[in-house]
Amino acid sequence: MLVLAGTAEATRLAAALHDAGHAVTSSLAGVTSAPSARPGRVRRGGFGGAAGLAAYLRAERIDAVIDATHPFAARMPFNVASACAEVHVRHCRLLRPQWAPGADDRWTSVRSLDAAPGALLDLDARRVFLAVGRQSVGPFLGLADRWFLVRSIEPLADPPDHVTSILDRGPFTPDGELKLLQMHQIDAVVAKNAGGVATAPKLGAARALGIPVVMIGRPAQPQGIVVVPDVAAALAWMAATAPIA
């Protein structure tokens, strides 16, 4: 079976499936140079669109696919849905529930990454914590009269003067996030609505300090597919849909 990886859940899922006796191959996009270790086979790099993935599924005789790519992976879920339908392989999408604002949160919700810089201007934010991943920093670089703190797993290539890059990998702690926002005198946070617990503490820290959050909405997902919220549900789906021996 094949797990499309790129999240902590994908790593845990590969381990759990391996322990349950499945021959698991994890597929990584190849964007992180030192990905988390996991049992089973690991392959890296794109398949060449839905057609390439379908050819791979046939060639490797894959009998089940779990798409555990990140909630902001915009293309892979559509490729998986299309390839699995073509090759008649069962598949499900592991997608964490979204975060929702509480009464004390100051969120400005935007539909896409490209709308976030405008929201920062509306808030007149000056010192911004950009918690969007290094691949998504581009749309903010034009705001040269603002200062940005970017935290990412891999370093930013040649950050301009108004961008400070720090390296870290979740899970993060409430106390650590509070200190980070205070130390850098952050007055706005930009986040993707990734859901989950590992990166949520920044939202609690912003709430505690009364700092606004520009929350970017998720990209569209394929319609009519099986969606599960966590690793346990993905394992239950695997067991429930196994062919009768």
The values of phi and psi at residue 148, to 5°, are -125, 135
CB 7, min distance to ligand NAP, A: 6
- Which residues within the stretch 14-33 sit at the binding site for ligand NAP (CB under 6 A)? 27-29, 31
Question: Does 11 sit near ligand NAP (CB under 6 A)?
Answer: no
Q: What is the DSSP letter of 139?
A: G
d(CA 115, CA 143): 13
| Dist CA 68 CA 233 (whole Å) | 12
Contact 147, 174 (CB under 8 A): no
- Footprint on residues 187-206 left by ligand NAP (CB under 6 A): 192
Q: Is 4 in the site for ligand NAP (CB under 6 A)?
A: yes
- 116 binds ligand NAP per the rule CB under 6 A: no
Of residues 42, 55, 74, 233, which one binds ligand NAP by CB under 6 A? 74
Burial of 79 (0-12, 13-18, 19+ CB in 10 A): buried
- Nearest-Å Rg of the Cα atoms of the chain is 19
- x/- contact string, 120-149, with ligand NAP (CB under 6 A)? -------------x----------------
Indicate the residue type of 215.
Answer: M
Spatial CB neighbours of 72, under 8 Å, sequence gap ≥ 6: 133, 192, 194, 218, 219
Binding of residue 76 to ligand NAP (CB under 6 A): yes
Least distance (Å) between residue 229 CB and ligand NAP? 16
The minimum distance between CB 44 and ligand NAP, in angstroms, equals: 7
d(CA 81, CA 72): 16
* Residues 6+ positions from 101 with CB-CB distance below 8 Å: 107, 109, 215
**Interacting stretch for ligand NAP, rule CB under 6 A, among 44-52, 85-93, 98-106, 164-172?**
44-52
Please identify which residue in 1, 35, 64, 72 interacts with ligand NAP, judged by CB under 6 A: 72
Q: Which is nearer to ligand NAP, 22 or 93 (CB)?
A: 93
Q: Give every CB contact of residue 171 below 8 A, 6+ residues apart in sequence.
A: 197, 198, 199
**46: contact with ligand NAP by CB under 6 A:** yes
Q: Contact with ligand NAP (CB under 6 A): which of 12, 22, 25, 47?
A: 47
> In a 3-state reduction of DSSP, which class is residue 223?
coil
Return residues touching ligand NAP (CB under 6 A): 4-7, 27-29, 31, 46-49, 52-53, 69-70, 72-76, 79, 133, 192
